[in-house]
Amino acid sequence: MIARSRLLVACAFGTLVSLAIAAPVSATRIQDLCEIRGVRENQLVGYGLVVGLNGTGDTGQARFTVQSTAAMLRRLGATLDPSAIQTKNAAAVMVTATLPPHSNPGAHVDLTISSLGNARSLLGGTLLQTPLYGADGAVYVVGQGPVLIGGFSASGGSGSSTQRNHVTVGRVPGGGIVERAAPRAALGQRVELSLRRPSFVTAQRVVEAINTHFGAESARAVDAGTVRIEVPERLASNVVAAIAEVQQLDVIADVPARVVIDERTGTVVLGADVRIREVAIAQGGLSITIDEAFAVSQPEAFGAGDTAVVPRTAVQATEGRGSLQTVPATASLADVVSALNALGASPRDLVAIFQALHTAGALEAEIEVQ
């Protein structure tokens, strides 16, 4: 059954990769490859209170929740002794948001709410009016609204409980209102593009596409991550139209040969340009089985002694028999997949195989371990 499961995983992996590389290389819009320098997002953060919880809020150990509740009530005209406040229906939270570029006052943004204290759940809560600050200390967004969790938790008196998804983090879709526009760079006749993935090859292809569209010497690459554009005279009075035309141009981006390995989950992702030189591989697995059993030791009739439970442990180690196999040099990603499928390796085994291939110098790709 295990061998059949490995075969199904390998076949499915090979089929998906083969389908991916069978399609022709498609071009990508410059809009998806580059950002306009000076036009960027801004991260915001704030501290607030979520109220209306059904006894799942912060307990008395979270003193900052009590202090925040007392301060809020004081601003609303109610003066109470903080020691007399119970906050089981309230929770202190951190509120985060991203301010999109060119957002004007009155626009709405989504908020992410994260519990700061020891609240058990934010289900059913409402975020009270919370200012969100930028890195410069100014308020850019004010947020408020019902918190959506997307999960639930329930527990019984005996200690049994069940939970779906994370119930101490939620969202308030569109709950933030922009109060101040972020500083933005003025668009002039010279515009610079910043590549999201710097590459000399991609930068040169972007330059060629722009020069073909606008005319020679309209753009030049400053470095692997920057392309400078001189807006043509016919569009000098309408820079927005020029940028819109540039962003719709198609470019074939250069993608480095890379193998991404996530050792926590055993996930391996191969880029389209990964190649393997001829190499011999012997791969085998070691499995250890521990069988714990209990026997009852009964004394003889009329004999001294007590009945006792005696544990009996059996440990068995099995090493897989892996023969040395030759993996020929590959010319495409399909060949790489076929060669690895021939080894019958599981995804977990592929993690170790790729790392060994890279150490031996037989893998023509970068390895990124996450």
Per-residue H/E/C for 304-362: CCCCEEEEEEEEEEEECCCCEEEECCCCCHHHHHHHHHHHCCCHHHHHHHHHHHHHHCC
At 8, is the secondary structure helix, strand, or coil?
helix
pLDDT of residue 50: 92
Q: Mind listing the pLDDT tens digit for each residue in 312-332?
A: 766 665 555 555 566 677 667
- In terms of DSSP bridges, do strands 139-146 and 219-223 run parallel, antiparallel, or are they unpaired? unpaired
- Phi, psi (deg, nearest 5) at residue 261: -120, 125
Asked which of 81-85, 228-232, 283-287, 356-360 is least confident by mean pLDDT, the reply is: 283-287
Highest mean pLDDT: which of 9-18, 21-30, 235-244?
235-244
- Neighbour-count burial of 77, counting CB atoms closer than 10 A to its CB (0-12 exposed, 13-18 middle, 19+ buried): exposed
Q: How many CA atoms lie within 13 A of 122 on its CB side?
A: 30
User: Has residue 133 got a pLDDT over 90?
Assistant: yes
Pairwise CA distance, residues 178 & 327, whole Å: 59
User: Has residue 18 got a pLDDT over 60?
Assistant: no
What is the average per-residue pLDDT within 100-110? 92
Distance of CA 228 to the CA centre of its chain: 31
- In terms of DSSP bridges, do strands 275-276 and 258-262 run parallel, antiparallel, or are they unpaired? unpaired
What is the average per-residue pLDDT within 74-86? 75
Residue 349 CB: number of other CB atoms within 10 A?
20
Q: Give the CA distances from residue 176 to residues 3, 103, 106, 258, in Å, rounded to whole numbers and listed in that order.
A: 53, 12, 9, 39
- Phi, psi (deg, nearest 5) at residue 163: -150, 140
pLDDT of residue 195: 92
User: Has residue 287 got a pLDDT over 70?
Assistant: no
pLDDT of residue 226: 92
Q: pLDDT band at 171, cuts 50/70/90?
A: very high
User: Has residue 15 got a pLDDT over 50?
Assistant: no
Pairwise CA distance, residues 272 & 340, whole Å: 15
pLDDT of residue 134: 93
Q: Give the CA distances from residue 143 to residues 131, 164, 276, 303, in Å, rounded to whole numbers and listed in that order.
A: 6, 26, 53, 79
Domains and CATH numbers, the chain: 2-24+258-369 (no CATH), 28-38+186-251 (3.30.1360), 42-178 (no CATH)
What is the average per-residue pLDDT within 124-129? 92
Residue that has been written with the tokens 């499961």 in this structure: 5
Asked which of 69-73, 250-254, 339-343 is least confident by mean pLDDT, the reply is: 339-343
Distance of CA 48 to the CA centre of its chain: 25
Which among 110, 113, 109 is positioned nearest to 166, based on CA atoms? 113
What is the average per-residue pLDDT within 158-170? 72
Q: Mind listing the pLDDT tens digit for each residue in 228-270?
A: 998 888 888 888 888 889 999 999 988 888 888 887 777 788 8
Read off the tokens for 184. 């933005």
What is the average per-residue pLDDT within 164-171? 83
Asked which of 16-25, 208-217, 277-286 is least confident by mean pLDDT, the reply is: 16-25
Pairwise CA distance, residues 277 & 365, whole Å: 11
Q: Give the CA distances from residue 242 to residues 7, 34, 239, 248, 318, in Å, rounded to whole numbers and listed in that order.
A: 53, 15, 5, 10, 67
- Which amino acid would we find at residue 218? S
Q: pLDDT exceeding 70 applies to what percent of the chain?
A: 76
Which pTM value belongs to this model? 0.65
Query: Taking the C-alpha atoms of 55, 59, 63 and 68 in order, what is their torsion angle to the nearest 10 degrees?
Result: -10
Read off the tokens for 26. 């498609």
pLDDT of residue 14: 44
Whether 370 contacts 262, CB under 8 Å: yes
Looking at every residue in the chain, the average pLDDT score rounds to 79
Q: Bigger pLDDT: 274 or 172?
A: 172
What is the average per-residue pLDDT within 327-350? 72
pLDDT of residue 256: 81
Q: pLDDT exceeding 90 applies to what percent of the chain?
A: 26
